[in-house]
Amino acid sequence: MDAIQVHDKTFVPYISAADIAEKIKEIASQISKDYEGKRPLFIAVLNGSFIFASDLFRRLNIDAEISFIKLASYKGTTSTGNVITAIGLEESLHQRHVILLEDIIDTGKTLHEFLPQLQHQGPASIEVAALLTKPDALKFPVHPKYSGFEIPNKFVVGYGLDYDGLGRNIPGIYQLG
C-alpha cells in the first residue's frame, strides 16, 4: 500500500483491509457465542461506524437487530458543558441486550456522556464494540468489551473514518504521516 493524500494531508498505510476483515471475523464469532439466544440490538453510531457495522453484522450467525443513530452535541444552558442527544433511536431498549458500535474511541468523552442515557431506558445489558481505541488519548472511563485494534494517538482515516468528510471509502486504515 502506498501513502495517500486526503485534502492537504498525507496518510500512510496502517491497518490493511485484510487485517480488518480478519479481526471483524473474530469479534463477530465472539459476539455470536456471547449473545446466542439473546437477540441483541446493535446500535451503530453514524457516520463513522457504518462500514464497521455492516461488515460485523453480516458476520453474525445469530438472530440480531440493528439500528442507526447520529449523536448531536448541544451547548448546555448551564456550566455543565455540552448535552448529547441521539437522533433516530426509535426502538425501546427496555430489557434488550444492547451493543453500541463505534468506529473509534478517542478521549471517551462522547460515550461517557451518552451511555448513561441508554442505561436510563432499562436495557438488560449494554456493551460497546469499537473497531479502534486510542489508549493514550483516553480521558474518560469507557472500556469496550469488544475492541478491534489499539492504536497510537495519531489521526486515522479510511474504513468509514474521515478527514473533513473525505477518506471514508478507502478500504484500509491510514495514519497521519
Q: Does 106 qualify as catalytic in the annotation?
A: yes
Full strand arrangement of the beta sheet holding 156-157 = 4-6, 9-15, 173-176, 156-157
**Choice between 35 and 114, CB closer to ligand XMP:** 114
What b-and-e string marks burial along 121-135, b requiring 16 or more CB atoms within 10 Å of the CB?
Answer: eebeebbbbbbbbbe
Sole residue written with cell 473514518: 161
**Choice between 62 and 137, CB closer to Mg ion:** 137
Question: Contact between 130 and ligand XMP (CB under 6 A)?
Answer: no
Question: Contact between 162 and ligand XMP (CB under 6 A)?
Answer: yes
Question: Contact between 48 and Mg ion (CB under 5 A)?
Answer: yes
Extract the C-alpha cell encoding 4.
Answer: 495517500
Q: Which stretch binds ligand XMP (CB under 6 A): 29-37, 60-68, 76-84, 99-107?
A: 99-107
CB distance 64 to 7 below 8 Å: no
Write down how long the chain is: 177
Which one of Mg ion, ligand XMP, none is in contact with 55 (Cβ closer than 5 to 8 A by kind)?
Answer: none
Sole residue written with cell 451547548: 75
Question: Contact between 170 and ligand XMP (CB under 6 A)?
Answer: no
Question: Contact between 9 and ligand XMP (CB under 6 A)?
Answer: no
Cα–Cα distance between 117 and 63 in angstroms, integer? 25
Q: Which of 34, 106, 162, 164 is an active site residue?
A: 106
153: DSSP letter: S
166: DSSP letter: B
**Choice between 18 and 166, CB closer to Mg ion:** 166
Backbone angles phi, psi at 79, to 5 degrees: -80, 5
Which one of ligand XMP, Mg ion, none is in contact with 106 (Cβ closer than 5 to 8 A by kind)?
Answer: ligand XMP
Question: Contact between 160 and Mg ion (CB under 5 A)?
Answer: no
Specify the amino acid at residue 150.
E
Question: Where does this chain bind ligand XMP (CB under 6 A)?
Answer: 48, 102-110, 155-157, 161-162
Question: Where does this chain bind Mg ion (CB under 5 A)?
Answer: 48
Catalytic residue numbers read: 106
